[in-house]
Structure 1
Amino acid sequence: MTVPLLEVDDLRVEYPGKGFRARPTEVLHGVSLALAEGETLGIVGESGSGKTTIGRAVLGLVAAAGGSIRFRGEEITHLSARQRRRLSRDIQVVFQDPYTSLNPSLTIGDILSEPLVAQGATRRDARARVTALLDQVGLPADAAARLPREFSGGQRQRVAIARALAPEPRLIVCDEPVSALDLTTQALVLDLLTDIQRRTGVAYLFVSHDLAVVRHVSHRVAVVYRGDIVETGSARDVTMSPEHPYTQQLLLAAPVADPVEQERRRSERLRVLEISRVQDEQAGAIT
């Protein structure tokens, strides 16, 4: 039996409450998912649903209050800082904002070579790897001598992707990697991610609030609502024919260019919202 690249089992995460002696707030209530080698799993939900917290827990940026996270069969839920640094060779991240995720005082070459040198590469090998990385993400070789402020948002995100690819990871956590970009640039970056996956076999845990974006890059999708995964399945099934009312709301909330269709979707969304409200009231009455 093939061991999944990433396994999350009954993951719970709590954040401290506000105020003196306030009880912590549980934001993930037992989330379970699995990701295979070379696969993209889209995690979708609205702001505050807990989707980003899943990615942060995998990266070790937030502590798990319960459950387990395994990478290639190895338990990584409570690794030390030193062990996490070792694991960073295999797990990397692309953050949401390309404007703040890059050090403005370093050249692109230094930004890309820094993690390589930290992991033992020579300066000469690092420079050669930087040249290859820039070519891989569609940037010219002379970009290495320039500063981040000299690039557009889409180009900066390409640099961020190159930085994540530098140690040749097996998994990249993509935290809303295109939400700060315009639609045309979004499509270019998504196509780049797909092409890189095809050539390298890297897996993506792709976090987004946009079903259309998730459908474009994902093999499977998990929908997160109030700290729980409420629907999973193939990208086509979940984004085209969702079964859960919350997923239906997400789909109907996406704007379309046709005014008549947009009005129909708005009416349908209100109907689904009412059904969801009634179900929530009934569930509350039972408990």
Structure 2
Amino acid sequence: MTAYEPLLRADDLEVVYRSRGRKSFTALAGVSFDIRPGETLGLVGESGSGKTTIGRAILGLVPITSGTISFDGRDITRIPATERRGLARDIQVVFQDPYTSLNPSMTVADILVEPLLVQGWTRRDASARIRDLLDRVHLPADADRRLPYEFSGGQRQRIAIARAIALSPRLIICDEPVSALDLTTQARVLDLLIEIQESTGVAYLFVSHDLGVIRHISHRVTVLYRGEIVEEGEVDQVTSRPEHPYTQRLFMSAPVADVAQQRERREERRLLAASREN
């Protein structure tokens, strides 16, 4: 694979939830995108837009109604569970909530060693790998003996990131990984993810509702609205000069530190809403 060939590609992806006695709900409709090796594709939209469903579809956690997902040229749309476990070496995930994504009864060492042992590592090699992982996410060496409750939210998310990179994956799905953190901690975790990407070449699918966060970490951006792509392109274009009205609303709703600028954005949102009504 060259650097210009997709690592992951989704073609005309559709996910429809059906339940007995109720109307069906289309979570994704005709969604197509690709992720190149070593890049970050930002996936942005409000709650219910379908962005998290995309990540879950790639991980095999939701049934795909139609369309295909391929990884490194291989169709992984409906592979058996045994093959899906093998794929975990290459595709990992960092979840939104650092408080529930870690087993509270396991030490950090146990949390980090588990995926390594499953993949056949010896305990000796796994222990050496844990020391390297803690160093990579800037946690002290003695963190391995502690339990998750002893850490702050940002530190817990660093542990989750260490677990995700333990097997040296080629793609990590980041599902709102900083939304539960304060702004200062968000910036530090985003910078850590960028640092890891630059040193390892891992690709990210970065899911967020915050266009400002997407701008900080992404190379390209895909905007979802009600299960469909409404805008996509290079990060500077989409986050600075959005063309679709929905993306414009996301841009103007992103928080900014400057009070006067925030006031201007509120007025822009009001004018945009008025123009749609007229």
Same fold (TM over 0.5): yes
| Structure 2 counterparts to residues 132-147 of structure 1, below 5 A | 132-147=132-147
CA RMSD in angstroms comes to 1.3
Structure 2 partner of 1:13? 15
Give the partner amino acid of 2:170: R
Q: Does 1:105 align with 2:102?
A: no
| 1:127–1:257 CA distance, 2 compared to 1 (3 A) | closer
| 1:166–1:276 CA distance, 2 compared to 1 (3 A) | farther
Q: Distance in 1 between the 2:58 and 2:273 partners?
A: 32
Structure 2 partner of 1:176? 176
SS in 2 for 1:207: strand
SS in 2 for 1:134: helix
| 1:52–1:274 CA distance, 2 compared to 1 (3 A) | farther
Q: Distance in 2 between the 1:184 and 1:190 partners?
A: 10
Structure 1 partner of 2:44? 44
Q: 1:108·1:144 contact (CA, 8 Å) conserved in 2?
A: yes
SS in 2 for 1:105: coil
Structure 1 partner of 2:223? 223
Give the partner amino acid of 1:250: L
Give the partner amino acid of 2:207: V
Structure 2 partner of 1:164? 164
User: Unaligned stretches of 5+ in structure 2?
Assistant: none
| 1:276–1:208 CA distance, 2 compared to 1 (3 A) | farther
Shift of 1:276: 4.7
Shift of 1:223: 0.4
Cα shift readout 1:224-253 (whole Å, capped 9, x = no counterpart): 001001101111110011000000000111
| 1:185–1:260 CA distance, 2 compared to 1 (3 A) | closer
Shift of 1:277: 5.8
Q: Distance in 2 between the 1:210 and 1:256 partners?
A: 11
Shift of 1:255: 2.8
Q: Does 1:131 align with 2:123?
A: no
Q: Distance in 2 between the 1:67 and 1:155 partners?
A: 38
| 1:125–1:248 CA distance, 2 compared to 1 (3 A) | same
SS in 2 for 1:48: coil
Q: Distance in 2 between the 1:259 and 1:39 partners?
A: 33
Q: Distance in 2 between the 1:275 and 1:5 partners?
A: 41
Q: Distance in 1 between the 2:256 and 2:86 partners?
A: 45
Cα shift readout 1:239-277 (whole Å, capped 9, x = no counterpart): 011000000000111233444433322122123234456
SS in 1 for 2:205: strand
- Structure 1 vs Structure 2: percent identity of aligned residues? 64
Shift of 1:23: 3.2
Q: Does 1:71 align with 2:80?
A: no
| 1:257–1:161 CA distance, 2 compared to 1 (3 A) | closer
Q: 1:15·1:25 contact (CA, 8 Å) conserved in 2?
A: yes
Q: Distance in 2 between the 1:257 and 1:184 partners?
A: 12
TM-score (norm: length of structure 2)? 0.96
Q: 1:245·1:276 contact (CA, 8 Å) conserved in 2?
A: no
Q: Distance in 2 between the 1:124 and 1:187 partners?
A: 35
Q: 1:3·1:73 contact (CA, 8 Å) conserved in 2?
A: no
Structure 2 partner of 1:195? 195
User: Unaligned stretches of 5+ in structure 1?
Assistant: 279-287
Cα shift readout 1:27-80 (whole Å, capped 9, x = no counterpart): 101100000000000000011111111111111111110000000000000011
Q: Distance in 1 between the 2:234 and 2:208 partners?
A: 16
